[in-house]
Structure 1
Amino acid sequence: MSTRAPEKEYRTMPMFGRDAELKDLGALVDGPGDRSGILIEGEPGIGKSALVEAAIAAAAVAGLRVLRTAGVEAEQSLPYAGLHRLLYPLRRGFDALPTRQFDALAMALGVSDTTAEPSPYLVGLAALTLLADEAADRPLLIVAEDVHWLDSASAEVLAFLARRIDTEPIAVIGTLRDGMATPLCDAGLTDMPLGPISDDDATALLDSLAPELPEPIRLRVLAEAQGNPLALNELPTAVADLTEFPLALPLTARLERAFAARGAALPASSRSALLVAALNDGDSITETLSATGVLLGSTVGPEILTPAVEANLIDIASSTVSFRHSLIRSALAATATADERRRAHLALAEILGELPDRRVRHRAAGSVGPDEQVAAELEAIAERARHRGGAVVALERAAALSDSPGRRADRLLRAAELAVDSGRRDTAERLVDTARTLPLTPGQQATANWLLSGFDDGVRESPSRIAELAGLAVSVAADGYPDAAMRILWGAAMRCFWSEPGPDTRRALLAVADALPIPDGDPRMVAVNAYVAPFERGDRVMGHLRALASTTGRDPEVDRFLGSAALQVGAFDLAAHFSAAAAPGLRAAGRLGLLPRALTVQAWSLTRLGDLATAAPVAAEAAALARETGQPFMQGLATAVQAEIAALHGDYSRAVELTAEADRVGLASGARPVLATVQLTRGLIALGEGRFDDACTDLSRIHDPRDPSHAPALRAYFLAEHAEAAVRAGQTDALRELLRDLESAAAAAPAPALQIGMRYARAVLAADAAEEHFETALAADLIGWPAERARLHLAYGEWLRRQRRVVESRTHLRTARETFDALGFTAWSERARLELRSAGESSPNRSPDAREQLTPHELSIAQLAAQGLTNREIGQRLYLSHRTVSTHLHRIFPKLGISSRGDLAALLPTEDEAPRSTVIAYVIRRSWRHRRVA
């Protein structure tokens, strides 16, 4: 692959009217401060590359090393072409990378024989490690021009880098055409919109470039250029042709015509060579000359390009051809006839025999009408592609060349499936729509119908869609496609989590599931039953989950949806177990699309269990990764969990802020679990502030089928909070009615969260029999549920004190205080202290735990360091550079009053693979320490 420098503006021009932009770029080069880079956006010729060259000159003065790449339209289908160009100068450092990172980068850049597709995120981590190591010796400036034309794989990696270099001596400058999209738009770079220069600056620039222009022509050029520096530079030389241009013609088209007119003045043989160079997806002068020779039927030498060099259209280095501006390349391609382009592509195909993938692409571009042989070769390219973006392009072109509607549909749907995996909604929808214009088999129709549900789990679709999918699954199963039917059924079941289709639809889904020839213990079937009927099938689901929890070696994606299934049936300890088991495998494989889903379920469950210290960094990472991977509904749920954690910590202002953010996401998408968690958090805030009527109102909304926060499964798992609010607000009648409504579900389902909540509610509602109910509730197995056990001790102690059994109350209140202190439940520990004070016992002041002094991100790093992981190992876990990890640790040590990582283990309990044991060990340690102090 080539290593040419990016294409530059047509001619070096004086800089007019860009003082503010030059100042900002100079400041970035001197030290990025609170920003990682700048994205310069503007129309072609507006001066983006001129500013880049000025920044590069400033970087040279400041001692920075500059690494450059550029998007090339002809290379958009070549995965990692842009990244190869950027990192090729650092190739000697590849061997120092950790093994997995080296393998991913080597596969991506084609320096490995392995054909497996590397995860873009592992490639990004490898690039980050490589660049961070290089920057440690000398600061770096990364320049990426024309990022709208970068291949999608390189663009994703550059966006990944831009999000993670805030603590590194690395700055990024990118250039982007107006109105075009790139992942770098959402990577945290500072926008620098570049508009036309002022009339005075345009006049000064034109006078400096063409001082001898006659006044009428000068005025015409100024009017036509509209403040575009490239137009002011180029149009004077093409002024004779301007009179033929319609005044309404866009400026870009005028410039292209000006360049095309210059190309048209060249000898015919030079024009042929230029067209070959413009259509080539490489920059080798040897390739251009060889293909031109095939096209002309005779051997040609470099002199054939001399007229184009003299006309300032191209530059020739020792072995490469590069265009002076990207508009020149597009102008030459656009003004050639279809036959001329076809013949040039076929000439290139003929000389690329040693490069089969490129040869096939050019053969495909030169084909007219169906060509099944070329289509099959393109399909093979897609199978070998190291990035899904390149595979999508190859499959779509293969579909166009297919010799039958069936093969065309297969290829379109396969391309759409890869587009879904890549998160490219527009592309997937377009491909599916195209496929639906063809006669489809039942299997193809099924694929077309469920494919797009991969986006957002159908969150934004009408609930009626769930019934449609149920019918489709029946039809597909009847046609002999049980696995396809299972995938459709799974998509329908997922929708039952995010929305509420009603009991009839849920029963229809269960009937479909029962009829499929798939074992009841299949993890997919377990998850479907949990999502569709968490109470009706809860007993069956729990049995399978307990059996599966004792086995290992599953695909981490299976563990991920088993975790989700466990959450549905109120087994939060199992949900945390399965999700924690899934996360390492998803990390190692770089499956960052699935990782935030597993982390969100883990954080949600751990928070309900009371392990806030473990849940906080997990929720923060889940929210960040969901945002990065474009999963707004999952980001909303993770943010709602963060809000709940803040409320339990007693940080109500932060909880309100996060709740509002999650509420916006949940309302926009109609995601009921997000809104239910939001209402739970509002209830917690109101409880902590003593607004019991408000708390009861907030929590009651979750049970109202007409309310958007109504979540049929989750509503049953917040009973302890609801019962407390109702009793304190004097709304016990409404609480009793709610319990009667849930009795049948509680009798049928062993859901731990529901059973715990029911026992708590019965105890606080009881009068004369309260003691019996409290003792029954505390006798239950609450080993993995310390927060719920502490809540029972607090309520029991309060009841005993009101019965004037003060001595007995102190034991329960003290236990509650110690547990809530250990868990960081600030509001609840203060309540226990007040009750103890009223019972005649003082309490030691609560000292914030070490983990509460750190941000969630810092806590993630500190916990891993406490386990003995090196900075590199921590970086690989969290997708950071090891130098960023070191920077964070140096900030963490002063916060904790320590001087080395060796002290971390004493302050921070290590995170166990099983969250239950982590919580228990943590509580026991804290409780024992408090007893010794007392």
Structure 2
Amino acid sequence: MLLFGRKAELSALAEFVDRPAGRGALVCGEAGIGKTALVEATVATATAAGLRVLTTTGVEAERHLAYAGLHQLLFPIRAGIDALPAPQRDALRGALGLAEPGEIAPYLVGLATLSLLADAAADRPLLVVAEDVHWLDRASADALAFVARRVESEPVVVVATLREDERSPVQDAGLSTISVSRLPDEAAAHVLDSVAPGLAPDVRERLLREAAGNPLALTELPAAVDEFGRLDPALPLSGRLERAFTARVAALPAPTRTALLVAALNESPSLPETLTATGLALGPGTPAVEARLADADTHALEAGLAEPDARTAGARLVEPDVLAPAVEVRLVELRAGALVFRHPLIRSAVPAAASLAERRRAHLALADTLAQHPDRRAWHRAAASAGPDESVAAELERAADRALRRGGAAAAVAALERAARLSEARDAQAARLLRAAELAVESGRRDTAERLVRDAQALDLSPRRRATAAWLLSGFEDGVREDVSRVAELAELAASVAADGETEPAARILWGAAMRCFWSEPGAAARERLLAVTDRLPLPADDPRLVSISAYVAPFERGADVLERLRALAGSAGADPATDRHLGSAALQVGAFDLAARFSAAAVPGLRAQGRLGLLTRALAVHAYSLCRLGDLAAAVPAAAEAATLGQETGQPFMYGLARAVQAEIAALRGEHDEARTLADEAERVALPSCARPVLATVQLARGLAALSEGRFDDAFAGLSRLLDPADPAYQVALRAYCVAELAEAAVRAGQADVLRDVLCDLERAAAATPSPALHIGLRYARAVLAPTGEADELFEAALRADLTGWPAERGRVHLAYGEWLRRQRRVVESRTHLRTARETFDALGLVAWSERARRELRSAGEASPNRDAHAREKLTPHELSIAQLAAEGLTNREIGQRLYLSHRTVGTHLHRIFPKLGVSSRADLARTLRALQDR
């Protein structure tokens, strides 16, 4: 294939084929710019190099059919599905319609697709081609993006094409972008001369000017030049090209035009389907078609849309020869039982040239042909409807249910919205619009959800539906970007809904409002109103929702009750991962980081298995935050890294920011100050524009820790003090109370002890109302380091006598501060015991900055303290550490892949890198090494 002017693009694509080892390219450009030609050349190169090629093409008519594109891509290797692990196998078979689906998690489908492609690539490298990804159904596009992000070490290359100014999830999958621009003048002239030699000079010049370097225009516009050598200058280039194709279609015989119209409206390239439907469209033939046409004609007449056209009698048997004229003029190609349009603009030009009656007839014919494909049939019936039709609306609603079971939320939203437009009763219309809006919220599609809610609110809604419409949009980003007055409004809304006896909707509204109390600060009055409404709900006191709402809204005032409920519920942790996730967050609010780590750890495996990555992100963030506060950096590092990755992937910017802030805190504790600053700055950039308070609070904590370990005590005190200033965006009601120890230390070393004593009065009052472990641990530490000389001994001993089981970092902190105080009191021998304990504790936990400080103090106390050797596992990236820990637990590569949403071959590649870093040669050695490090 000779392509003029595309040497650079072909070379870039050839590089991926020459070394097929993960990722690939996204080829972008305007319609007709030659993206398909580049892909075809790449496919030819790949085939010659021995790669296997799998392809799928987005079709606009298929956008509402969940996993239609993925089905096309994986069909040639579907036999390998049976070898997948059971959860993946069942999910993928259900998604592709190869089995009756249960509830399918989209990310589990993505993992199954990755595993299937990786297995196929083990025999022969793969080139995965996805054309026109802007028209892929959303479920398929998400699965493809999932794969593209994770083919790190697989012999799999992904090449996708995207039309300019369109959007697709594949854009965010990390593929290299190849932008295809218009051809330079010399190459454009070569193209035109090769397809239309001998043009008159003025016509040639005009065509070159009009085509402006677009290859499709250069090859197609010559046929559109009138006898005077003119083109319509009023149309854009794509319009002129469509008009050129339309003119070519208009010259075809009527049966051929009908066949082309049916093919253009059909979602499938299946030639038998097109021929069967064409036969029905050419004549009524069956009572079913006749009845539907009559019914549709009645709607059309009533709506004043069209006059029904005359119909031929008798359905026809149509042979492939009917398409021969279209093949001759290069509009379509016939390939092994498939009809393929030469370009998407041809496909769009054909329906545009048909009348409304012709399009309706074609849709109805397709609906009759597709009786065994209920989803496609429903959409064709809907397209043929000229007005409200409850039977079609109900059929679309059933299609939405099927799409949901297969994990196709976007397809379900589209089906429900279309069903709403066809609903005959206003109440049914409102119900379908609101259900579609709720699914759009869950899918993260804010613009769609807002539009659907506005449409529903324009109807005469019942009180319950008005309530649903009012709170639906609160699901986005936990209301971070909304005005804080919204919290009080939600409280009143929940009260009115509860008064109507609607307990469940009221509880959901209150939960959304409670989340706002975490991310923003609505004020005491709004918090009190939320509690008052919550208290009146007829739910058991130990209902996890009530426990969580109380924790978020009143972490100190209700702290004692929340902790009692949490400890009682801890015995059932692991029963329901979503509930555990909520309870983990509740425990974090009240400073019970040990319980927060326990609940979130219980939630993570279940959320992984269910493929609920949105909730998994939140559970991992809470887990990482809690573990970091407890000092368990070895476990916090991979949890925070995965939470950050998934936060980006699932479109949760503030969870991403929180995970990044926790990573900054970890870096500060490890003495990696430059890294801590970089991560804190990144998290702040995410959170500051919307004042996401928990992120900003954690950023200030990380900066304060870094400043403490660098000896910048004034900076540390100034930064940490911001957490206690209600006027500061870093102020967060709960989290402000859980950095007391760090603040106390900064104050003492910065000479601000008297200032801190005044500040602590507020927290002492809060402590009187709650048994919050983190708050009381911090206050005991602060009282000791701030105490007069005569009282300090007893206060330090009291801090050490407290139950610090599960809080090793806090115990180490007290030993360090006590040892430092004893040395300053010239009780050097006594100080060494505490300093040595602190050093050993911090060494074991990997808190490098703190262990180095203990070493310096020990040397000052006259005891040699050699420099600490870096733990072997600190040589691993967070990703590698996750894999190493799971391998040490005895999991196979495939099981690790399922846990971390990687292919098992990628896991194997990582282990080959991990073994030399740790100086081990087997999994047994790996387990022993990590176990020894854990025991240190």
TM-score (norm 1): 0.95
**AA paired with 1:402?**
S
2:448 corresponds to which of 412, 423, 427: 427
Task: Check the 8 A contact 2:819/2:835 in 1, yes or no.
Answer: yes
Whether 1:486 aligns to 2:504 is no
Residue 3 (structure 1) aligns with: none
Distance of 1:98 and 1:120 partners within structure 2? 16
Distance of 1:688 and 1:814 partners within structure 2? 18
| Distance apart, 1:351 and its partner CA | 2.2
Distance of 1:811 and 1:531 partners within structure 2? 41
Task: Check the 8 A contact 2:497/2:503 in 1, yes or no.
Answer: yes
1:376 corresponds to which of 394, 403, 406: 394
Paired residues for 1:149-298 under 5 Å:
149-240=135-226, 246-297=232-283, 298=315
Whether 1:62 aligns to 2:84 is no
**AA paired with 2:816?**
L
| Distance apart, 1:428 and its partner CA | 1.5
| Distance apart, 1:830 and its partner CA | 1.1
SS for the counterpart of 2:572 is coil
Paired residues for 1:228-627 under 5 Å:
228-240=214-226, 246-297=232-283, 298-299=315-316, 300-385=318-403, 386=406, 387-627=408-648
SS for the counterpart of 1:439 is coil
1:629 corresponds to which of 650, 653, 661: 650
Distance of 1:183 and 1:234 partners within structure 2? 32
Identify the range of structure 1 (153-162 vs 201-210) with the bigger mean alpha-carbon deviation: 201-210
| Distance apart, 1:377 and its partner CA | 1.4
Distance of 1:245 and 1:429 partners within structure 2? 43
| Distance apart, 1:248 and its partner CA | 3.4
Distance of 1:787 and 1:330 partners within structure 2? 65
**AA paired with 2:56?**
T
User: Deviations 1:717-739 (Å, cap 9, x if unpaired)?
Assistant: 00000000000000011110111
Structure 1 unmatched ranges of 5 or more: 1-11, 911-921, 927-934
**AA paired with 1:42?**
G
Distance of 1:514 and 1:171 partners within structure 2? 57
Judged with a 3 Å threshold, the aligned counterparts in structure 2 of structure 1 residues 53 and 474 are, in CA distance, closer, same or farther, namely: same
Distance of 2:380 and 2:890 partners within structure 1? 53
2:19 corresponds to which of 16, 24, 31: 31
Task: Check the 8 A contact 2:390/2:422 in 1, yes or no.
Answer: yes
| Distance apart, 1:668 and its partner CA | 2.4
Distance of 2:353 and 2:742 partners within structure 1? 71
**AA paired with 1:87?**
L
Judged with a 3 Å threshold, the aligned counterparts in structure 2 of structure 1 residues 830 and 397 are, in CA distance, closer, same or farther, namely: same
Task: Check the 8 A contact 2:25/2:175 in 1, yes or no.
Answer: yes
User: Deviations 1:878-932 (Å, cap 9, x if unpaired)?
Assistant: 000000000000000111111112111111139xxxxxxxxxxx77x21xxxxxx
Distance of 1:859 and 1:43 partners within structure 2? 44
Distance of 2:764 and 2:446 partners within structure 1? 44
Task: Check the 8 A contact 2:574/2:603 in 1, yes or no.
Answer: no
Residue 145 (structure 1) aligns with: 131
Residue 647 (structure 1) aligns with: 668
**AA paired with 2:921?**
S
SS for the counterpart of 2:162 is strand
**AA paired with 2:589?**
Q
Distance of 1:624 and 1:533 partners within structure 2? 31
What is the alpha-carbon root mean square deviation over aligned residues? 1.3
| Distance apart, 1:535 and its partner CA | 0.2
Task: Check the 8 A contact 1:116/1:384 in 2, yes or no.
Answer: no
Residue 6 (structure 2) aligns with: 18
Residue 813 (structure 1) aligns with: 835
Distance of 1:251 and 1:891 partners within structure 2? 53
**AA paired with 1:31?**
R
SS for the counterpart of 1:542 is helix
User: Deviations 1:655-700 (Å, cap 9, x if unpaired)?
Assistant: 1111111010111221100000000011011101101000000000
User: Deviations 1:198-256 (Å, cap 9, x if unpaired)?
Assistant: 11211121112211111121112111111100100001112128977542311111111
Task: Check the 8 A contact 1:633/1:669 in 2, yes or no.
Answer: no
Structure 2 unmatched ranges of 5 or more: 284-314
Distance of 1:241 and 1:136 partners within structure 2? 58
| Distance apart, 1:470 and its partner CA | 0.7
Distance of 1:95 and 1:294 partners within structure 2? 39
Distance of 1:751 and 1:83 partners within structure 2? 50
Distance of 2:473 and 2:360 partners within structure 1? 35
**AA paired with 1:53?**
E
TM-score (norm 2): 0.95
Task: Check the 8 A contact 1:572/1:606 in 2, yes or no.
Answer: yes
User: Deviations 1:737-783 (Å, cap 9, x if unpaired)?
Assistant: 11111111011110000000000000000121000100111000001
Task: Check the 8 A contact 2:587/2:593 in 1, yes or no.
Answer: yes
Judged with a 3 Å threshold, the aligned counterparts in structure 2 of structure 1 residues 838 and 242 are, in CA distance, closer, same or farther, namely: farther
Distance of 2:88 and 2:435 partners within structure 1? 29
Task: Check the 8 A contact 1:360/1:374 in 2, yes or no.
Answer: yes
Paired residues for 1:738-817 under 5 Å:
738-767=759-788, 768-817=790-839
Task: Check the 8 A contact 1:530/1:568 in 2, yes or no.
Answer: yes
Judged with a 3 Å threshold, the aligned counterparts in structure 2 of structure 1 residues 134 and 60 are, in CA distance, closer, same or farther, namely: same
Residue 838 (structure 1) aligns with: 860
User: Deviations 1:104-162 (Å, cap 9, x if unpaired)?
Assistant: 110011111x2323211111111111111111221111110000010111100000000
**AA paired with 1:209?**
V
Consecutive aligned runs of 4 or more in structure 1 exceeding 6 Å deviation: 241-244
| Distance apart, 1:177 and its partner CA | 0.4
Distance of 2:392 and 2:49 partners within structure 1? 52
Distance of 2:234 and 2:875 partners within structure 1? 63
Identify the range of structure 1 (317-326 vs 648-657) with the bigger mean alpha-carbon deviation: 317-326
Distance of 2:339 and 2:118 partners within structure 1? 32
| Distance apart, 1:354 and its partner CA | 2.6
Identify the range of structure 1 (443-452 vs 227-236) with the bigger mean alpha-carbon deviation: 443-452
Task: Check the 8 A contact 2:59/2:135 in 1, yes or no.
Answer: yes
| Distance apart, 1:335 and its partner CA | 2.0
Whether 1:857 aligns to 2:879 is yes
User: Deviations 1:394-420 (Å, cap 9, x if unpaired)?
Assistant: 111110100111110100111111112
Judged with a 3 Å threshold, the aligned counterparts in structure 2 of structure 1 residues 662 and 241 are, in CA distance, closer, same or farther, namely: farther
1:96 corresponds to which of 68, 76, 83: 83
Identify the range of structure 1 (219-228 vs 311-320) with the bigger mean alpha-carbon deviation: 311-320
**AA paired with 1:420?**
V
Identify the range of structure 1 (48-57 vs 333-342) with the bigger mean alpha-carbon deviation: 333-342
Distance of 1:97 and 1:882 partners within structure 2? 11
**AA paired with 1:809?**
S
Whether 1:720 aligns to 2:741 is yes
2:110 corresponds to which of 101, 115, 124: 124
Distance of 1:304 and 1:835 partners within structure 2? 92
Identify the range of structure 1 (671-680 vs 234-243) with the bigger mean alpha-carbon deviation: 234-243
Distance of 1:394 and 1:327 partners within structure 2? 25
Distance of 2:771 and 2:573 partners within structure 1? 24
Distance of 1:326 and 1:241 partners within structure 2? 27
**AA paired with 2:134?**
H
SS for the counterpart of 1:908 is helix
**AA paired with 2:793?**
E
Whether 1:677 aligns to 2:695 is no
